[in-house]
Amino acid sequence: MDEQSRKRTSKRLSYVLRHRPDSVGLVCDPRGWVAVDALLAALAAHGEAISHDDLVEVVRTNAKQRFAFSGDGARIRASQGHSIDVELGYAPATPPDTLFHGTHVGVVEAIQREGLLRGERHHVHLSADADTARSVGARRGRPVVLVVVAAVMNADGFAFFLSDNGVWLTEHVPPRYLRAPAGDGS
């Protein structure tokens, strides 16, 4: 499978497993899992046949590790980013002192007023390092990296969770826990 095919398949998996399993006739279990065989059959029935080996390759090579197989390899789910109702089962975790959120310059003023909102997703996504946050922010324009004072937030009673692929999750980051952007955003 070439790079372009892997990218296209990854985007399709993100759409199906995070947002619209019903678009191919699937229903995720309460924790977001679907049977691998059912996923492959559903995609094939909708004109998007991929082999089991190609699915494994897409999951294994995804730089952001967006997907996870169950321990026995029979089920698959998105690691985070769902807009559908799922409970991923992540236990609360103690975050590092600071975390980072990558965004683009066009929304910084609104974030400074309202904080970081989860929108249609279950959580706000935060990175443990500024470089990862910068690459996330660059997807939609000139990136800006915001610093989240996570340890203080956590001490004030806000829960944090660490996804299987290392993304930190929380429901909302009020403006008082945000610090000036890290770096100049370039």
Q: pLDDT band at 81, cuts 50/70/90?
A: confident
Q: Where are the beta strands (DSSP E) in 37-90?
A: 67-69, 75-78
Q: Tell me if 103 is assigned to some domain.
A: yes
Determine the pLDDT at residue 116: 93
Structural domain for 61, as ranges: 3-78
Tell whether 31 is covered by a domain: yes
Residue 93 lies in a domain: no
- Name the token pair of 140: 């939609």
Considering the domain architecture, whether residues 111 and 64 belong to the same structural domain is answered as no
Domain presence at residue 22? yes
The amino acid sitting at 10 is: S
Strands (E), the chain: 34-35, 67-69, 75-78, 99-104, 116-117, 124-126, 143-148, 161-162, 168-170, 172-173, 178-179
129, 73: one domain: no
Taking the mean position of all CA atoms in its chain, how far away is CA 87?
14
Q: Give the domain CATH number at 18.
A: 1.10.10.970
Read off the pLDDT band of 141 (50, 70, 90).
confident
The CATH number linked to 122 is: 3.20.170.30
Q: What is the pLDDT of residue 181?
A: 67
Cβ burial, residue 143 (10 Å; 0-12/13-18/19+)? buried
Residue 20 lies in a domain: yes
For 166-185, how does the pLDDT look when each residue is reduced to its tens digit (9 = 90+)? 889 999 999 999 997 655 44
Gap between the Cα atoms of 165 and 186, Å rounded? 26
Query: From CA 97, how far away is CA 177, in angstroms rounded?
Result: 11
Confidence category of residue 87, pLDDT binned at 50, 70, 90: confident
Calculate the average pLDDT of the chain: 90
Q: How confident is residue 28, by pLDDT bands cut at 50, 70 and 90?
A: very high
Q: 86 or 41: which carries more pLDDT confidence? A: 41
Q: Is the confidence at residue 46, as pLDDT, over 60?
A: yes
Q: Which helix (H) or strand (E) holds 132?
A: helix 130-137
- Within this chain, do residues 67 and 135 fall inside the same structural domain, yes or no? no
pLDDT of residue 185: 44
Residue 92 lies in a domain: no
Residues 74 and 103 in one domain: no
> In this prediction, what percent of the chain has a pLDDT beyond 90?
71
When divided into structural domains, the chain yields a total of: 2
Can you read off the two tokens belonging to residue 114? 């309202």
Angle between helices 52-61 and 3-14 (to 10 degrees): 90
